[in-house]
């Protein structure tokens, strides 16, 4: 759905629809609306100006306009015409319009001249890319995108709001994406992708890739994969795809994969004719986690149409040991979240001689450390624990008649010697499994199961006493739930009934098996925890027409602030680079926490009283202004009365 | 003549006899109907009695059940109160309303305690995170210098 | 707050007007029958029978003897406020929308809608206190200044000017004797649904479909305050005693997607006039809010909804005691 929105914006709000008008009078705020009205009148005669498509940047310091404006038209042709017609238009004696298409301006700035290059790099080096992690009050950032705006904010619950960091209109042509460790923000443009960072969100790097659609970072932020597809010039052939793997530091493309899009759409066990496998999986290239971006892999087919996994090695970008892992009927594979180990799921062979199979394969040795055959399988869903300690397989099997199916779970204890396996069957096997979710930093998991509108939520632990077995902890009956959202710290969980269920949110404490709060964010579509598990944001994105915007809550379920934004597209917490202080240091902090607390509480108190003082002052100013206004009106009235009486 | 008289007498006697029988019959009939009426009356009275009896018994049962339930509730409330540490004398008369009030108060207190606990947890989580971030600053500066 | 639910209308409400004393109020609705109520108890006194179309607005003379109503049936009617007797009918062949008496009540300011090729217009009609002398005399016609429906027209100071709000988002000021356009400013991106003036005629408040309400300098049209709302607005009113304003609106019936009451946002929203901060909402209506009016003493306000109900809300005593926090 998000992609669809991205597409729409790309069409609607492409830079080629925007005309930049220069040489306008520099005016104060009080005349802003008036000049805007004049511009609108002039340009509406030429073409269809986009609703809210007029914008004059204002200088923060002088509170005056900067002497130019952006005007967005319904389509690129109108923009071109407007540019020609309005070029040289005399607004008055001293102001003659100078017009450009924003696209041209962007192109100009996107091709920096030779001599500028070293200066730019120097600037980037000076700018501390980690500055956002040094916030004195330990706050986190988030990005939001709505209409044509992209904004970066500090989440500032201590003042009951958020603080602006940076904002820019038309920053991206489709969507934005943080790098996995939060160092930079990527924007997507017709000419390619760009990444931005540092205190001022200056450009760090550009990646030329015409008509790029999707991008993906490697986990350690060394590489960027970009993808585009395009109709083939030969109408009988399907679309062509290009995947570039680029070096983030230099911006150089290190390897390109090109070919028919259908050749990259590999999924499913049976041999299918090219192009009938459905959608492209993204990311197509899956990065091995926690290994310094050493390997990335994709599902492919060999010349005879059999599935295989191609593993590539960085920085050379070649096929690992020059050959792929040949395994038949692969449906999908998943890297462990923490090590060079992949879980491969192969479907049963069509002739029925070979059952479905799930195996754990180590890279680069390619040795299989564990595997299991599964019979009468309909489908398998793979759930890695975020710590890579457990692997859960949600297996749906056909009954003997083959007409119905039932569900069960298979567990691999990857973190333990010899990878022991365990089976879990639900009491009612026929029940639908709505959702499965591992507790991060823990050993519990939750399952939503049931067929009606109000299914049950069951909790289990992988660590039952000394036995180290799965144990049922409890079940919540009849919840209006569509998805579960664990805090990144574990322990707390939001049981959410999104979209059709009106956005009911149950804030649940799993340690005490206690409901802390039940709230509603009407029509809520997304639930996103901040990286620390202290706060959580819920949002209604433009998949719904109304109620667009977001709410930030404490993990206890207290609403901290709500922001309404029409045409709201994205809410993205800025990820935080994991920095390990070491167990000793953490224990020391825990031991001295009282000392820290005292200081932090004092800081928060000061902040609060300061905010109060500022607010009071602001109000006082408004009251004085008003009193002056009324006084001036009295005079006007007196004048009129005198005139009337005379 | 005599014969005639005798005949007439016979007829009279016959008639009297008949009349008598008839009277007897009627009397019997009357008695019968009175008996039936009486029986009906009695049956009705019996029915009424049974009905009131069953109503009474039903009421009794409900009352007993209510009492039992009351006692049960009181017992449960007492149990809960005992868990909280309240002591009761043997045979002490306890006021259920008061007990319930206490239980509600206790529940509110528990909720408040829970909220306080979570508030403390929230603070310590926040402070731990902020402390860790402070300690990470030197690491970040090193990273930046690289 | 103790709300009184006034049942009497069968169709959506369009307008509410208190008399100067504030003891009675008249409500207009799409059901042809303006209704007179006791403002304090909500008791219905009577209805005014005679219109054959929706009534869009009304006004009451200072001495509370007369009522003027404008209707989609192409008439403006003068009534005896107390008896409900129709005194006079101005007849047009176009729907009539906004009416108000001039200071001194010599004139009536009227707006008429666009109809069958006739453009929307502002008219000034002669009004006579003596029924015998009442004639249909139009002293001014401005029919070339508005590209869309004129939603409200109000007199300026000493009847020298009048101000209009229009569907095109503009407010305009005219010379009342010549009809000359003196000033026009685009205030809203979308239609201005209603506007109101404070008693001293210093400021104008607007309510727009663009989800904002703005407070303007009534003389210069300078935007003094902007109230950002989360719903399209139909109505706005300024408290006569405190620095507060009341706003109302909501998604129109056709675009309300769910039955949940809160989704449509039908509450009255109270803002601090100077600080531009919302400080309260009052629920009640089942459909969009079409009109809100403060009582002249500021101690209560009345709302009219698309749901056909009129609600009178009396403020609690702490409303008057509490400082804005």
What pLDDT digit, counting tens, does each position of A215-257 carry? 999 999 999 999 999 888 887 888 899 999 999 999 999 999 9
Q: Does A469 touch chain B (CB under 8 A)?
A: no
C residues 154-193 near A, CB within 8 Å?
Answer: 157-158, 160, 185-186, 189
Token pair recorded at residue A511:
């340690």
Q: Does C222 touch chain A (CB under 8 A)?
A: yes
Q: Of the candidates B129, B130, B137, which has its C-beta nearest A134's C-beta?
A: B137
Give residue-wise pLDDT tens across range A108-155: 555 444 433 334 444 444 568 888 999 989 999 999 999 999 999 999
Residues in chain B closer than 8 A to A597 (CB atoms): 123-124, 127
Decide if B39 is inside a domain.
no
Residue of B nearest to A125 (CA): B144
- CB proximity list for C198: less than 8 A, separation 6 or greater: C205, C238, C240
Q: Does A29 touch chain B (CB under 8 A)?
A: no
The answer to whether the Cβ–Cβ distance between C230 and A564 falls below 8 Å is yes
| Domain stops at, among A111, A131, A163 | A111
Q: Which of A637, A641, A646 to mutate to test the interface with C (most CBs of C within 10 A)?
A: A637
Would you state the pLDDT for residue A1? 31
What CATH number is associated with residue A48? 3.30.70.330
Backbone angles phi, psi at B12, to 5 degrees: -60, -45
Print burial letters for B66-96: b (CB count within 10 Å at least 16), e (below 16).
eeeeeeeebeebbeebeeeeeeeeeeeeeee
Q: Is B121 exposed, middle or buried (0-12, 13-18, 19+ CB in 10 A)?
A: middle
The answer to whether the Cβ–Cβ distance between B129 and A534 falls below 8 Å is yes
Percent share of chain B, pLDDT over 70? 97
Give residue-wise pLDDT tens across range C18-74: 999 999 999 999 999 999 999 988 899 999 999 999 999 999 999 999 999 999 999
Would you state the pLDDT for residue C2? 62
Would you state the pLDDT for residue A472? 94
C-alpha closest to that of A299 among A313, A314, A283: A283
Q: Does A509 touch chain B (CB under 8 A)?
A: yes
The answer to whether the Cβ–Cβ distance between A52 and C202 falls below 8 Å is no
Q: Does A33 touch chain C (CB under 8 A)?
A: yes
* pLDDT bucket at A17, cuts 50 / 70 / 90: confident
Give residue-wise pLDDT tens across range A257-308: 999 888 888 865 444 444 445 678 889 999 999 888 999 999 998 888 889 9
Decide if A469 is inside a domain.
no
Domain of A58? Answer: 2-111
**Does residue A11 register a pLDDT over 70?**
no
**Does residue A435 register a pLDDT over 60?**
yes
CB of C22 closer than 8 Å to CB of C312: no
Domain of B111? Answer: 96-146
CB of A407 closer than 8 Å to CB of A394: yes
Q: Measured between alpha carbons, how far is C241 from A619 in angstroms, rounded to an integer?
A: 19
Q: Does A513 touch chain B (CB under 8 A)?
A: no
Q: Of the candidates A34, A564, A640, which has its C-beta nearest C157's C-beta?
A: A640
Q: Does A635 touch chain C (CB under 8 A)?
A: no
3-state SS assignment for residue A6: helix
Measured between alpha carbons, how far is residue C60 from residues C18, C27, C57, C69 in Å?
8, 11, 11, 9
Q: Of the candidates A128, A509, A579, which has its C-beta nearest B144's C-beta?
A: A128
Percent share of chain A, pLDDT over 90? 56
3-state SS assignment for residue A180: coil
Q: Which of C103, C170, C206, C230 to mutate to test the interface with A (most CBs of A within 10 A)?
A: C230
Q: Which of A633, A634, A642 to mutate to test the interface with C (most CBs of C within 10 A)?
A: A633
- CB proximity list for A606: less than 8 A, separation 6 or greater: none
Decide if B79 is inside a domain.
no
The answer to whether the Cβ–Cβ distance between C275 and A630 falls below 8 Å is no
Q: What is the mean pLDDT of residues C181-206?
A: 95
Tell me the pLDDT of chain A averaged across its residues.
Answer: 87
Q: Of the candidates B127, B135, B140, which has its C-beta nearest A133's C-beta?
A: B140
**Does residue A48 register a pLDDT over 50?**
yes
3-state secondary structure A307-336: EEEEEEECCCCEEHHHCCEECCCEEEEEEC
CB of A216 closer than 8 Å to CB of A234: no
Token pair recorded at residue B116:
């306080």
Domain count, chain A: 3
Token pair recorded at residue A551:
């709410």
Q: Measured between alpha carbons, how far is A403 from C72 in angstroms, rounded to an integer?
A: 66
Output Rg (C-alpha) for chain A, integer angstroms. Answer: 29
Q: Phi-psi bin for C226: left (phi > 0), alpha (psi -120 to 50), beta?
A: beta
Decide if B101 is inside a domain.
yes
Judge if A91 and A179 occupy the same domain. Answer: no
The answer to whether the Cβ–Cβ distance between A589 and B123 falls below 8 Å is no
Local structure of residue C119 (DSSP, 8 states): P
C-alpha closest to that of C223 among A31, A636, A52: A31
Q: Does A137 touch chain B (CB under 8 A)?
A: yes
Q: Is A498 exposed, middle or buried (0-12, 13-18, 19+ CB in 10 A)?
A: buried
Looking only at the bridges linking them, the beta strands covering C121-126 and C138-142 are antiparallel
Residues in chain A closer than 8 A to C262 (CB atoms): 522
- CB proximity list for A74: less than 8 A, separation 6 or greater: A17, A47, A48, A49, A50
- Domain C2-321 belongs in CATH node 3.40.190.290: no
Percent share of chain A, pLDDT over 70? 92
Q: Does A502 touch chain C (CB under 8 A)?
A: yes
Q: Does C45 touch chain A (CB under 8 A)?
A: no
Kindly state the helix (H) or strand (E) to which residue C126 belongs, with its residue range: strand C121-126
The answer to whether the Cβ–Cβ distance between A633 and C202 falls below 8 Å is yes
Would you state the pLDDT for residue A66? 85
The answer to whether the Cβ–Cβ distance between B129 and A532 falls below 8 Å is yes
Whether chain B lies against chain A with 3 or more Cβ pairs closer than 8 A is: yes
The answer to whether the Cβ–Cβ distance between A629 and C217 falls below 8 Å is yes
Q: Of the candidates B135, B137, B139, which has its C-beta nearest A589's C-beta?
A: B135
Residues in chain A closer than 8 A to B137 (CB atoms): 134
Decide if A379 is inside a domain.
no
Residue of C nearest to A563 (CA): C230
Number of residues assigned to chain C: 325
Would you state the pLDDT for residue A188? 94
Distance of CA C318 to the CA centre of its chain: 28
Q: Measured between alpha carbons, how far is A250 from A245 in angstroms, rounded to an integer?
A: 12
Question: Which residue spans within A24-105 are E strands per DSSP?
Answer: 49-55, 69-73, 90-92, 95-96, 98-101
Our CA-based measurement puts residue A221 at a distance from the nearest CA of chain C, in whole angstroms, of 40
Q: Of the candidates B129, B131, B139, which has its C-beta nearest A579's C-beta?
A: B139
Our CA-based measurement puts residue C119 at a distance from the nearest CA of chain A, in whole angstroms, of 22
Q: Of the candidates C158, C185, C230, which has its C-beta nearest A640's C-beta?
A: C158
Our CA-based measurement puts residue A259 at a distance from the nearest CA of chain C, in whole angstroms, of 45
Q: Measured between alpha carbons, how far is C87 from C84 in angstroms, rounded to an integer?
A: 9
Our CA-based measurement puts residue A204 at a distance from the nearest CA of chain B, in whole angstroms, of 15
Decide if B61 is inside a domain.
no
CB of C164 closer than 8 Å to CB of C172: yes
Our CA-based measurement puts residue B109 at a distance from the nearest CA of chain A, in whole angstroms, of 15
Decide if A345 is inside a domain.
no
Residue of A nearest to B146 (CA): A125
CB of A204 closer than 8 Å to CB of A249: no
Would you state the pLDDT for residue A408? 94
* pLDDT bucket at C206, cuts 50 / 70 / 90: very high
Q: What is the mean pLDDT of residues B36-40?
A: 94
State the residue for tokens 């027409």. A545
**Does residue B132 register a pLDDT over 90?**
yes
Domain count, chain B: 1
CB of A486 closer than 8 Å to CB of A493: yes
Give residue-wise pLDDT tens across range B55-91: 999 999 999 998 888 888 888 888 888 887 777 776 6
A residues 561-620 near C, CB within 8 Å?
Answer: 564, 619
Would you state the pLDDT for residue C255? 53
- CB proximity list for A53: less than 8 A, separation 6 or greater: A18, A70, A71, A72, A73
Token pair recorded at residue C180:
């000359």
Decide if B27 is inside a domain.
no
């Amino acid at each position: 759905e998000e992609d669809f929105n991205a597409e729409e914006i790309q069409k609607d709000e492409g830079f080629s629809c925007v005309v930049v008008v220069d040489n306008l009078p520099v005016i104060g705020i009080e005349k802003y609306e008036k000049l805007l009205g004049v511009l609108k009148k002039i340009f509406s005669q030429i073409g269809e100006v986009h609703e809210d498509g007029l914008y004059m940047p204002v200088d923060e310091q002088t509170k005056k306009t900067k002497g130019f404006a952006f005007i967005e038209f319904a389509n690129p042709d109108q923009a071109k015409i407007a540019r020609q017609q309005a070029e040289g238009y005399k607004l008055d004696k001293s102001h003659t319009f100078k017009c450009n298409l924003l696209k041209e301006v962007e192109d100009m700035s996107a091709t920096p001249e030779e001599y500028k290059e070293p200066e730019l790099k120097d600037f980037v080096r000076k700018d501390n890319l980690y500055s956002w992690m040094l916030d004195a009050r330990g706050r986190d950032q988030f990005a939001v995108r709505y209409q044509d705006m992209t904004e970066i904010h500090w989440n500032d619950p201590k003042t009951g709001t958020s603080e602006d960091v940076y904002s820019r209109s038309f920053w991206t042509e489709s969507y934005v994406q943080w790098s996995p460790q939060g160092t930079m923000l990527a924007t997507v443009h017709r000419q390619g992708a760009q990444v931005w960072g540092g205190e001022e969100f200056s450009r760090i790097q550009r990646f030329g890739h015409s008509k790029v659609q999707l991008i993906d970072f490697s986990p350690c932020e060394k590489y960027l994969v970009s993808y585009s597809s395009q109709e083939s010039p030969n109408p009988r052939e399907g679309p062509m795809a290009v995947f570039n793997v680029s070096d983030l530091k230099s911006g150089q493309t290190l390897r390109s994969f090109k070919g028919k899009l259908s050749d990259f759409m590999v999924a499913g066990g049976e041999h299918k004719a090219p192009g009938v496998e459905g959608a492209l999986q993204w990311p197509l290239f899956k990065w091995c986690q926690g290994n310094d971006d050493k390997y990335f892999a994709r599902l492919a087919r060999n010349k005879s149409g059999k599935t295989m996994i191609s593993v590539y090695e960085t920085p050379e970008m070649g096929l690992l040991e020059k050959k792929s892992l040949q395994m038949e009927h692969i449906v999908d594979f998943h890297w462990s979240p923490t090590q060079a180990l992949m879980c491969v799921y192969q479907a049963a062979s069509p002739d029925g001689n070979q059952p479905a199979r799930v195996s754990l394969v180590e890279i680069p040795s390619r040795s299989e450390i564990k595997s299991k055959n599964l019979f009468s399988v309909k489908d398998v869903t793979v759930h890695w624990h975020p710590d890579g300690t457990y692997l859960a397989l949600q297996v749906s099997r056909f009954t003997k008649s083959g007409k119905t199916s039932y569900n069960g779970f298979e567990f691999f204890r990857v973190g333990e010697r010899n990878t022991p396996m365990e089976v879990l069957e639900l009491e009612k096997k026929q029940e639908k499994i709505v959702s499965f979710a591992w507790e991060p930093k823990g050993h519990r998991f939750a399952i939503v199961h049931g067929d009606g509108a109000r299914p049950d939520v069951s909790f289990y632990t992988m660590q039952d006493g000394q036995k180290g077995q799965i144990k049922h902890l409890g079940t919540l009956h009849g919840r209006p739930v569509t998805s579960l959202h664990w805090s990144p710290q574990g322990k707390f969980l939001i049981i959410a009934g999104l979209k059709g269920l009106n956005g009911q949110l149950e804030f649940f404490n799993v340690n005490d098996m206690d409901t802390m709060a039940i709230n509603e964010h009407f029509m809520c579509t997304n639930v996103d925890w901040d990286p620390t598990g202290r706060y959580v944001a819920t949002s209604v994105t433009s998949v719904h027409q109304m109620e667009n915007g977001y709410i930030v809550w404490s993990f206890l379920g207290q609403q901290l602030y709500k922001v309404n934004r029409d045409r709201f597209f994205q809410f993205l917490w800025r990820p935080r680079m994991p920095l390990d202080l070491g167990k000793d240091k953490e224990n020391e902090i825990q031991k001295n926490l009282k000392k820290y607390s005292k200081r932090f509480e004092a800081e928060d108190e000061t902040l609060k009283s300061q905010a109060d003082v500022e607010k009071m002052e602001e109000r006082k100013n408004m009251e004085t202004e008003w009193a002056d206004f009324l006084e001036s009106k009295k005079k006007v009235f007196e004048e009129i009365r005198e005139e009337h009486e005379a | 003549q005599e014969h005639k008289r005798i005949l007439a007498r016979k007829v009279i006697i016959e008639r009297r006899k008949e009349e008598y029988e008839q009277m007897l019959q009627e009397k019997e009939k009357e008695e019968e109907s009175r008996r039936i009426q009486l029986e009906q009356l009695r049956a009705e009275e019996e029915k009424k009695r049974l009905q009131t009896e069953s109503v009474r018994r039903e009421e009794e049962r409900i009352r007993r059940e209510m009492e039992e339930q009351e006692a049960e509730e009181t017992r449960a409330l007492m149990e809960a109160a005992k868990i909280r540490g309240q002591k009761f004398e043997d045979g002490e008369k306890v006021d259920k309303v008061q007990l319930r009030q206490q239980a509600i108060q206790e529940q509110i207190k528990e909720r408040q305690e829970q909220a306080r606990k979570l508030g403390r947890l929230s603070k310590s989580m926040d402070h731990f995170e902020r402390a860790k971030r402070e300690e990470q600053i030197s690491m970040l500066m090193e990273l930046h210098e690289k | 707050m103790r709300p009184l639910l006034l049942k009497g209308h069968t169709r959506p409400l369009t307008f509410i007007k208190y008399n100067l004393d504030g003891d009675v109020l008249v409500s207009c609705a799409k059901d042809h029958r303006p209704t007179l109520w006791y403002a304090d108890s909500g008791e219905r006194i009577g209805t005014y029978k005679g219109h054959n179309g929706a009534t869009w607005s009304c006004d009451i003379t200072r001495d509370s003897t007369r009522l003027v109503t404008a209707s989609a049936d192409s008439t403006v009617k003068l009534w005896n406020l107390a008896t409900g007797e129709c005194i006079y009918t101005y007849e047009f062949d176009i729907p009539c929308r906004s009416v108000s008496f001039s200071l001194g009540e010599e004139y009536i300011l009227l707006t008429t809608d666009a109809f069958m090729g006739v453009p929307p217009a502002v008219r000034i009609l002669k009004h006579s206190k003596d029924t015998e002398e009442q004639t249909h005399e139009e002293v001014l016609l401005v029919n070339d200044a508005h590209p869309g429906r004129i939603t409200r027209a109000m007199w300026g100071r000493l009847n020298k000017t009048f101000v209009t709000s229009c569907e095109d988002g503009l407010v305009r000021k005219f010379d009342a004797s010549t009809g000359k356009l003196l000033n026009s400013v685009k205030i809203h991106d979308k239609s201005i649904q209603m506007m109101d003036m404070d008693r001293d005629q210093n400021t104008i408040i607007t309510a727009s479909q663009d989800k904002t309400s703005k407070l303007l300098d009534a003389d210069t049209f300078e935007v003094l305050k902007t109230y950002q709302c989360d719903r399209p607005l139909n109505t706005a009113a300024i408290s006569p005693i405190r620095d507060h304003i009341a706003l109302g609106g909501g998604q129109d019936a056709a675009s309300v997607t769910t039955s949940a009451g809160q989704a449509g946002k039908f509450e009255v929203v109270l803002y601090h006039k100077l600080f531009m901060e919302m400080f309260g909402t009052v629920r009640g209506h089942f459909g969009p809010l079409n009109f809100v009016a403060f009582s002249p003493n500021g101690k209560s306000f009345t709302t009219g909804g698309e749901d056909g109900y009129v609600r009178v809300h009396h403020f609690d005593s702490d409303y008057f005691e509490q400082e804005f926090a």
